[in-house]
Amino acid sequence: MEENLREILLGGQSFSWRDEGDGVFSAVLNEHVYRIRSIADAASDPFLRSYFDLDYDYAKAMEEIARKDEILSKAVESTGMLRLLHQDHWIATISFILSQNNNIKRITGLYDRLSRRFGHEVEPGYFSFPSPEEMEGTTEEELRGLGVGFRAPFILDAIEKRSVLDEIDGLGYEEAEKRLMNIKGIGPKVASCILIFSYQKREGFPLDVWMKKVMAEYYPGKDPSYFHPYEALSQQYLFSWIRAEG
């Protein structure tokens, strides 16, 4: 089965990708402008191979998830094949700090404004997401001026404590979560997104407002361990399904 590329790129895992029309999606990553129409386009590029986690068997995982119960079967069927992205630690951290009490459209807009203000132009009109060094020296006032609102001091704290992002790989989930949560504005939900979509910690299970409804309505009394060993990917199928369902 073919991947649901739109859902993977624009469904809330990442805020880097843009719909260029005619089935083309673009993103500025790794000092390049990448343009792709399918996952197959990524197979020959080392950076994208890692980014799209091409060495993991998502087809097999999807089949096993669909066999778990009726709800997951429905979620998988309506969504198509998903993958979990392997994003840059810093980009994921700021992206999901921006995501709290926010919506995907506005998060993407803020991501763009940060890129244009602090990043650099890789191609005409295409700006990289700024590195911590490029953002260093900014102020709460400047950030608020870009529209990030109450998240401004959280971003400043992340700039200051960015070195913790290099100490997460290899840690167990709980310890990794604890370290991330030392940064202001990172609680359990934001931490889980960073750990899944940047550190490949597949036992994460983000509980946002949508997923809390799903759990209360369809999995009362159950906790994320029910979905083991596919916590994160199952969550992503349920998230996509319930959002499409309304």
**102 with 117: CB under 8 angstroms?**
no
- Residue closer to DNA, measured from CB, 45 or 142: 142
Q: What is the dihedral of CA 160, 166, 167, 172, to 10 degrees?
A: 120
Contact between 104 and DNA (CB under 7 A)?
A: yes
Chosen residue from 46, 60, 101, 163 binding DNA by CB under 7 A: 101
- Distance CA(9)–CA(16), nearest Å, equals 8
Distances in Å between the Cα of 32 and the Cα atoms of 26, 124, 131, 221, 240 are 10, 12, 14, 46, 29
- Residue closer to DNA, measured from CB, 107 or 165: 107
Q: CB 81 → DNA: shortest distance, Å?
A: 15
Contact between 4 and DNA (CB under 7 A)?
A: no
Of 16-75, which residues contact DNA (CB under 7 A)?
A: none
- Distance CA(132)–CA(137), nearest Å, equals 10
Q: CB 2 → DNA: shortest distance, Å?
A: 20
Of 180-239, which residues contact DNA (CB under 7 A)?
A: 181, 184-191, 193, 206, 208-211, 235-236, 239
Q: CB 187 → DNA: shortest distance, Å?
A: 2
Contact between 79 and DNA (CB under 7 A)?
A: no
Chosen residue from 79, 87, 93, 99 binding DNA by CB under 7 A: 99
**25 with 52: CB under 8 angstroms?**
no
Q: CB 31 → DNA: shortest distance, Å?
A: 26
Residues that bind DNA (CB under 7 A): 11-13, 99-107, 144, 147, 149-150, 181, 184-191, 193, 206, 208-211, 235-236, 239, 243
